[in-house]
Each structure stands twice: as C-alpha cells, then as structure tokens.
Structure 1
Amino acid sequence: MDYQLAIENAPKTIPAGTGILLIHPSTGETDRIDTDFFKTDTDQFLVISTRTTAREVTQKLEYYDVNEDRAEILDTLSVERGYSRRRRDDVSYVSAPDDIKGIIEETEKFLTENEGKLKLSLDSVTELAYYADVESALKTVDQITSLLKEHDAVGLFHLSKEVHDDDVLETFRERFLIIIELSEDGSVSVESKI
C-alpha cells in the first residue's frame, strides 16, 4: 500500500511503514507541512504532542481546515502542568512528555483500533529529548517506526536543528528514508532514499 504525500519537493507517494523526519529551525513554521501531511490520503491520524496541549493542537487543525473527525490527540503536557483536562473521545493523556511507556502504549492503541490509511505526527522529538534524554528519544522513534511498519501506517517526526549537535542530528537522520528540511525562509528541501 502506498500513501500520497502532498509535501513540497517530496515524492508523490511513499510506501506504508515509512517514517519521515522533518528537520526545522526552532522558529520554523512547521504547521503547514504537518497539516498538509494530514489532509491528504488519510482515514485517521494521531498527533503525539510533546510541545503543545490538546487545545492548541485543536486550534491548529481548525485554523488549517483539517478534518477534525479524523483526528486523535495524545496530550503529554496537560497532566504534568496541572492544566484542566476536558474529557473528549478524541483526546488521551499521559503523565508527562518523558512518559515513553505511555506514549508507546497510546500509539499502539491508536494503530490497533483504527483501520484504513493511518498517519501520525510526533511533535516534537526535540521536546521528548529535552524532557527525557536523546537516548530515550531515539528509542521512542525506533519503537514508533516499528509500529508504523507493523500496521502499514506512516509518520512525521519533528526535530529542531539548532538544539542538537551535528552528530545527534546525523544519528536521527540515519533512521529515516525521507528527510524534509525546512529553512528559515520557509523553503523546503527533501532527501529521499526510497
């Protein structure tokens, strides 16, 4: 099974099981790439948010006119920060951004319980590394990409280039067949190993 990919300069389609690394500047506007990724050829999608709350993710989806009926959100921030958590069928929570076990369990649950073309976004790997450590972030990426292959899904993984050393960036890059780089001026370049 292939997925259409409506991202500037990227391949038109990618095979199921593919993980995509999005390397961006800290101030980069990644929302457009994220939401274009979700809008195309998707039955259900999961946003794993280690950077913003479920409410902020919902606002982003509304702003970019993404079909929210297809969305599920994993909020990793609200519990730790003591924010109120509104009970919704499409939102789940884990205790903190470094709750790796909880993130993997919720990801597997989403992929197991839904059918069709499934996508997910981990926004962001950098925040995960900040709250846990780089090694834990790498292990999480490895576990999620294995789940993508197992369930014929695809995923987009956000990584901020200013925060990590070159060797850390390279270690992440080696794990992906498609690497999208967003520059400060908003231009997009894509490296595909497919």
Structure 2
Amino acid sequence: MDYELAIENAPETVPEGTGIMLLHPSTGETDRLDTDFFKTDTDHLFILSTRTTAREVQQKLEYYEVDESRATILDTLSIERGYSRRSSDNVRYVSSPDDLDGMVEAIRTFLETHDGKLRISVDSVTEMAYYADEERTREAVEQILDLLREHDAIGLFHVAEEVHDQSVLDDYRDLFDGVIHLTEDGTVTCDFS
C-alpha cells in the first residue's frame, strides 16, 4: 500500500512504513508542510504535539482546512503550562512533557485501534529532547518508527536543525527513509532513499 505525498519536490507516493524527517530552521514555518502531509490519502491522523497545545493544533487544522474529525491529538504541554485539561474523543494528554513512554504508548494505542491509511506527525523531536534528553528521545523515535512499519502507517518527524549537534542530526538522518529540508527562505528540498 502506497501513500500519496502532496509536498513539493517530494515523491508522489511513499510505501507504508515510511518515516520522514522534516528538517527545518527553528523559526521555520512548518505548518503548511505538516498540514499538506495530512490532507491527502489519510483515513486517520495522530499528532504528537510537544511544541503547541491541543487548542493551537486544532486552530492550525481548521485554518489549513484539514478534517479535524479524523485527527487524534496528544497534548504534552498543557500540564506543564498549568492549563486545564479536558480529554475528549480526539484529544489526549500525557503526565508530563518528558513522558516519552506515555507518548509511544499513545501512538501504539492509536495504531492498534484505527484502520485504513494512518499518518503520524511528531512535532517535534527537538522539543522531546529538550524535555527528556537526546538518548531517550532517539529510543522513542526508533520505537515509533517500528510501530509505523508494524501497522503500515507513515510518519513525519519535525527536527530543528540549529538546535542539535551535526552528529545527532546525522544519526537521525540514518533512521529515516526520507528527509524534507525546509530552509529559512521557505525553499523545500527532498532526499528519499
């Protein structure tokens, strides 16, 4: 089963189990690429948000006209920021922003309880490492990539390039099947193996 990619300069389709690294500047506008990833060929989507609250994610989906009824959002920040948390059918929470096990488990549950074409967005790996550490974050990313392959899903993983050492970025590149590189001026280039 192939998935369409509606992202400029990317292949038209990628096979199930594909993990894609979205490498971007810290101030880069990733919302357009993220929502382009969701708009096509998707039955259900899961957004692991370590950078914004569920409410902000919902506003982004609405603005970019992504069907919110297909989305499950895992909010890792509201607890940290002291906001009220009301779980619903499509909004979940973890106990803290460094609860990587809880994040992986939430993705596992989503993949096991949904059928069809499934997409995952991890926004962002950089923030996961900020709250936890590089080693634990890498292990969590590896576990999520294994889950994508096991459940025939695909995923987009945001990484801010200036924040990590080059050796860490190189290690991440090796994990993924493709890299979408967003530059400061908004140029998008892609490298898929």
Q: TM-score, normalised by structure 1?
A: 0.98
Instruction: Let me know the Cα RMSD of the aligned residues.
Output: 0.7
Q: CA deviation at 1:5?
A: 0.6
Does 1:130 find its partner at 2:130? Answer: yes
Quote the residue 1:38 is aligned against. Answer: 38
Q: CA deviation at 1:95?
A: 1.1
Quote the residue 1:164 is aligned against. Answer: 164
Quote the residue 1:86 is aligned against. Answer: 86
Quote the residue 1:146 is aligned against. Answer: 146
Separation (CA, whole Å) in 1 of partners of 2:3 and 2:75: 26
- Out of 155-164 and 94-103, give the one that drifted further: 94-103
Separation (CA, whole Å) in 2 of partners of 1:123 and 1:23: 11
Unaligned runs of 5+ in 2: none
Q: TM-score, normalised by structure 2?
A: 0.99
Q: Residue type matched to 1:46 in 2?
A: F
Separation (CA, whole Å) in 2 of partners of 1:18 and 1:98: 25
- Which deviations, in whole Å up to 9, do the C-alpha atoms of 1:18-71 show, x marking residues without a partner? 000000000000000000000010000000001110000000001101000111
Q: Residue type matched to 2:165 in 1?
A: D
| Contact 1:46 1:74 survives alignment (8 Å) | yes
- Which deviations, in whole Å up to 9, do the C-alpha atoms of 1:99-147 show, x marking residues without a partner? 0110011000000000000001000000000000011111011000000
Quote the residue 1:49 is aligned against. Answer: 49
| Contact 1:77 1:95 survives alignment (8 Å) | no
Residues 96-111 of structure 1: pairs in structure 2 closer than 5 A: 96-111=96-111
